[in-house]
Each structure stands twice: as structure tokens, then as C-alpha cells.
Amino acid sequence: MLKPSLPTTIDSRQAADQGRILGGDIMLLKLERLSGYLVDSDGAVNVSMTFGVDEERIRYVKGCANATVRMLCQRCLEPVTLELEAEINLGIVADDEAAKQLPRHYDPYIVNEPRQDLYQLVEEELVLTLPLIAQHQDCVVKTEYGEAAEPSGDNDRKNPFNVLAQFKANKH
């Protein structure tokens, strides 16, 4: 059962100042870039986020995004089901200079417009968790297709090279 959907956009600075907590689901269909890596766009991403201000007066967004997706196995070319889990730990900053000043435990989230696309933020974090090569844990590569051919019963046919073998035998 799906939880309520998250708002599409949010003012991250205001949400951090208010200490907002968000949770809900985003349909995979709405995450076009992520869906491009997948076999299908069935399902949803479960998201929980907390906005706030830490003791160093840095605005942040923390949380997680979980999804079950199907990608194409690069060994057998069959769909493989994967569990994606993105940990979100971002420091909200205004520009690149402020991003350089962030403590190491935060990744920068540069916010230079009044409202930000929350779906895009979640999508970027999930794309970063995708495996470089999707494959089954116990994937067996199929090297032959179809049934093996039965040897034909035409062994009684004359070999056209038997004549040459006789010439060679008579020469010695």
C-alpha cells in the first residue's frame, strides 16, 4: 500500500528553519532519469526526510529513500531485482564557496532558487546507488541455445576423398 505522495517542490531553507519531517512515496514513473536505467517503472520509492538546522547553524536534509527495481542483468540479459537504498545527508548551501566550507559529513546541496524539486533530489541520490554492472548473484551464462543436433545416420555415404586415399596408398 502506498503512503501519501511527497510534495513535488519545497523551499528547503524554510523547511530546515521549521524542522519539517516528510515521508511518503514517489511513483517510479515520475523519476524519468532513474527509469531510463530500469527494465520497467513499476513500483514506488519510499522516502523519509528530516529538514533542520544543526548546532553549527548549518541547514540540512537527512533521510533515506528505498526502492525495489528491476534492471537488466549484464550476464544473462534477463531482469534482475535489486534493492536500492539511498542515505541522504546534505548540507543546504547557497553557492560553491559555501559548499567548500561544509563539514566532511555533509554532501553539498546547492540551493539558489526559492523552491527546489524534491523528486529530482531523491532521484539523484538513487541514481548514485545504482550498481555499475547489474547482475544476478548466481547467474549462469547460457552458451548454447536449443537442442543439441542429433548425429545423422548418413555415415554409410561414400566419402569423395576415398578415391584420393586409394591413389596415395597405391603410390607407396
Task: Answer yes or no: pTM beyond 0.85.
Answer: no
Whole-angstrom distance, CA of residue 30 vs CA of residue 97: 32
Sign, Cα dihedral of 128, 4, 31, 99? negative
User: Which residues of the chain, if any, have pLDDT below 50?
Assistant: 1-2
What is the pLDDT, as a whole number, of residue 143? 56
* Strand ranges, E, within the chain: 9-10, 21-27, 44-53, 59-72, 79-93, 107-110, 116-117
Question: pLDDT, tens digit, for every residue of 45-87?
Answer: 999 999 999 999 999 999 999 999 999 998 888 899 999 999 9
Domain definitions of the chain by residue range: 9-129
Alpha carbon of residue 32 to chain centroid = 12
Please choose, from the candidates 21, 19, 17, 89, the residue with its C-alpha nearest in 3D space to the C-alpha of residue 7.
Answer: 21
What is the pLDDT, as a whole number, of residue 1? 45
